Structure 1
Amino acid sequence: MGSVELTCIKGRQGFMNKLRLFIAIHLPDGLKEQLVKVQDALRHTGADVKWVARDYFHVTLKFLGETPDCQVRDIVQAMGRCCIGFSSFKLNLSGLGTFPPRGKPRVVWAGLGGEKDILLALQGSLEQELHKLGFPLEGRPYSPHLTLGRPRQFGEMDPLVREIEKQKQTLREEWQVTAIHLIQSTLTPQGPIYTTLATVPLS
């Protein structure tokens, strides 16, 4: 395993800070641009959707929630143990849809293909390592995807659904996954701010 990049966290001495954390895979810029083009096409349908900003695209591996900052180093060490058994692998965009598949959509997502079996194994290993630190296991199977937007009002969605059917064949970009990242999400009135606290390379 390569060297781990850990960003220092500054807090007030004697006080325990809590950080809203998750672990994810970053996306390359070219792939982000392709997703933005798809968002633009879907936006033209007039559907009332809160679209995810370009710099916030990611593949979530594990949401940790509010976590004491003193646990960050233990989390990064757990990520490192998990990554020892995995080398870099390829993923690609595959498909486009809404959740739930029937009824009023709550999420617009892009699917993932490629070496997804490695992704599932990596996430499963990470799940077990973090469980040793007291983080609860997920109650449902891991379903990797990229969130593109969340409908805000359930009005007429047929134009959006039709455009999704047209756009789903345009997503074919492939990229190499070489690391996983610990990210802090700071909630603000203008939206979340993401800060990468640690980058752990795959073996």
Structure 2
Amino acid sequence: MMNIPEQGAGRLFIAVGLGEAASMELERWQAEAEQILSFAKWVHPEDYHITVQFLGDTRQEVFDQLVPALKEAVRQIEPFTLELSGTGTFGTASAPRVLWAGVRGDIPALENVVEAVLDVTKPLGFMPEDRPYRPHITMARKYRGHEEFNIDSTHVLQPMEEIAWSVDHLVIYKTHLDKKPMYEKRALIPFA
């Protein structure tokens, strides 16, 4: 386990990571997209992930209960495969607040992981979001272009290659809003 400060574990979230080849493909695509699409903030390549649950500010004693609870919750879960799958946005179509990369593959297995996580985090005081779970990888935030956003009109962008990877663990990340990369791995929770 990694060393965590006494005063609190920090602002945390639970996620699954990407395979190296998928991360490299996202980084390649993002480097091209940054030259064409005007967003206020692009995600650092080391920060690519698929959120399972946002926890927020977490006390150290709660973190100390969370790690073994998650280990128990996912110890029966077998690794599964996900794959990059296109892009999309959240927010208004003409000026989106988030540009994301999509995922496909064994989404039911990912949803089982989400359910297992929510089952153990709720007794610790963490509430699930009201909106439906939509797995994605955030690439950029806050569109700042002068014209209406339309990713389909940027024919110069090469499509993202649909690379698959095996998901075999959870990661608990701590957020550092003033750093790049922003997310620090605090614990790895392996599957079966």
Does the pair score TM above 0.5? yes
Name 2:34's counterpart in structure 1: 43
Name 2:160's counterpart in structure 1: 170
- C-alpha contact (below 8 Å) 2:176/2:182 kept by paired residues: yes
Name 1:100's counterpart in structure 2: 91
Query: Which residue of 157, 160, 176 maps to 1:186?
Result: 176
- Structure 2, unmatched stretches of 5+, are none
Residues 1-203 of structure 1: pairs in structure 2 closer than 5 A: 6-11=1-6, 16-17=7-8, 19-100=10-91, 102-158=93-149, 160-163=151-154, 167=158, 169-188=159-178, 190-191=179-180, 193-203=182-192
Q: What amino acid is aligned across from residue 181 of structure 1 in structure 2?
A: V
- Decide which moves more: 98-107 or 51-60: 98-107
How much has 1:46 moved relative to structure 2?
4.8
Equivalent-residue separation in structure 2 for 1:165 and 1:83 (angstroms) = 42
Equivalent-residue separation in structure 2 for 1:165 and 1:39 (angstroms) = 13
- In structure 2, the CA distance between the partners of 1:56 and 1:123, relative to structure 1 (3 Å rule), is same
What TM-score does the superposition give when structure 1 sets the normalisation length? 0.85
- In structure 2, the CA distance between the partners of 1:66 and 1:102, relative to structure 1 (3 Å rule), is same
The alignment of Structure 1 onto Structure 2 pairs a total of residues equal to 192
What is the root-mean-square deviation in Å for CA atoms of aligned residues? 2.1
Q: What amino acid is aligned across from residue 103 of structure 1 in structure 2?
A: S
Q: What amino acid is aligned across from residue 40 of structure 1 in structure 2?
A: A
Equivalent-residue separation in structure 2 for 1:105 and 1:37 (angstroms) = 22
User: In structure 1, the residue corresponding to 2:120 is in which secondary structure?
Assistant: helix
Equivalent-residue separation in structure 2 for 1:92 and 1:165 (angstroms) = 23
